A = this chain, B = another copy of it.
């Protein structure tokens, strides 16, 4: 496999995931240092993603800095904390309250500073609370204007950090503003800052009924940079955050092909919620699937693939995929 593919995951993979029925989570809670230790046991894992709540205090940052150095991890990025504080309940960037909007901008700026301190360069923006649940609950135009304005202000703050927008159709709101690849691209057109780009979360794209390879292609076509990939799987109706290799392996093969074709050179970063599973083994298994699939794509005869795509004959495409798994 190509030497330069790098695997990362959210540090939280090694924590304890809760849901609305089991608030305690299905496993034991774990401290930051235990999570780092667990991460260190995953073969081929060289990067970690953080969330804003993990770097609230300067002591946290100091500890993480030490741990990442001790274990030899790179910090890929930080997802700004715009979703777990009840203060965001009715929106962060899109809030009708100017104090909340300011708080959102400040949170992102703070993460921008911290990520540089940790030698990373991505702040992931997933404004999960920015949306609506009910009919007649939202002033759509004003909300979107606030989002554009807020992210643009963050982007101006420092050019050396990439702001990567992660779209998701719903949850925790029944409707997210930034819900699809198309809405993300038109948002970036309005923001119009070079250090803004896209995070594609495979699961989010799947349950937005997107073909992920097309979504990757659209970034390229529209001149928006794909900064980050969040890898997981689901059954197309909800963000199940399952391991890679659970359901959609053919779509993963095509995704990897297009990532190579469009020269994506960022991290292959897991975003999984192993509620009832061991975090280490879940990450390992996901990476094993990815390695095998990347390897398979690298071995494909590119000119043959392009010919099949050009031809558009589905029996040839399906045959080609079959040959990857079953040699004869």
**A interface residues (Cβ-Cβ under 8 A, vs B):** 17-27, 83-86, 89-90, 96, 128, 132-141, 144-145, 169-172, 174-175, 177, 179-186, 189-190, 208-209, 211, 213-214, 217-218, 220-222, 234-238, 240, 242-243, 245-251, 253-254, 257-258, 262, 273-278, 281-282, 284-285, 288-289, 292, 295-296, 305-306, 308-310, 312-315, 317-322, 324-326, 328
**Given A237-B238, A249-B249, CB of A183 within 8 Å of CB of B218:** yes
A25, A134, A209: most-surrounded residue (chain B CB, <10 A) = A134
Chain B residues lying within 8 Å of A305, measured Cβ to Cβ, are 136
User: In chain B, what residue has the closest Cβ to A89?
Assistant: B26
Inter-chain contact B281/A315, CB cutoff 8 Å: yes
A60 to chain B, nearest CB (A): 18
Query: What are the 9 closest A-B residue pairs judged by CB atoms, nearest first?
Result: A182-B182, A182-B183, A140-B217, A292-B326, A134-B314, A136-B317, A281-B315, A26-B89, A325-B325
Q: Of B137, B140, B141, which is within 8 A of A314 by CB?
A: B137
* A/B interface sample: 14 pairs, CB < 8 A: A90-B312, A135-B247, A135-B250, A136-B253, A136-B257, A140-B221, A144-B218, A174-B235, A180-B180, A190-B222, A236-B236, A276-B314, A278-B315, A289-B322
Residue of chain B at shortest CB distance from A182: B182
Q: Are A133 and B86 in contact (CB under 8 A)?
A: no
Contact B322 A285 (CB under 8 A): yes
* CB contact under 8 A between A135 and B254, given known A185-B182, A310-B96: yes
* Complex: A317 Cα to B247 Cα, angstroms: 12
Assembly CA distance A254 to B136 (angstroms): 6
Distance of A152 Cα from B132 Cα, bound (Å): 35
A19 to B83, CA, bound (A): 11
CA of A324 to CA of B324, assembled, Å = 12
The residue of chain B having its C-beta at the shortest distance from the C-beta of A144 within the complex is B221
Give the shortest distance, in Å, between A140 (CB) and chain B (any CB).
4
- Distance, CA A39 to CA B314, complexed state (A): 19
The answer to whether A137 touches B218 (Cβ under 8 A) is no
Contact B276 A133 (CB under 8 A): yes
- Inter-chain contacts of A86 with B (CB < 8 A): 22, 24-27
Residues of B within 8 A of A313 (CB): 137, 277-278
Check B144–A321 contact: CB distance below 8 A. Answer: no
Cβ contact within 8 Å between A325 and B89: no
Cβ-neighbour of A19 out of B172, B179, B276, B278 (below 8 A): B172
CB-nearest residue of chain B relative to A292?
A: B326
From B84, B134, B141, B221, give the contact of A221 (CB < 8 A). Answer: B141
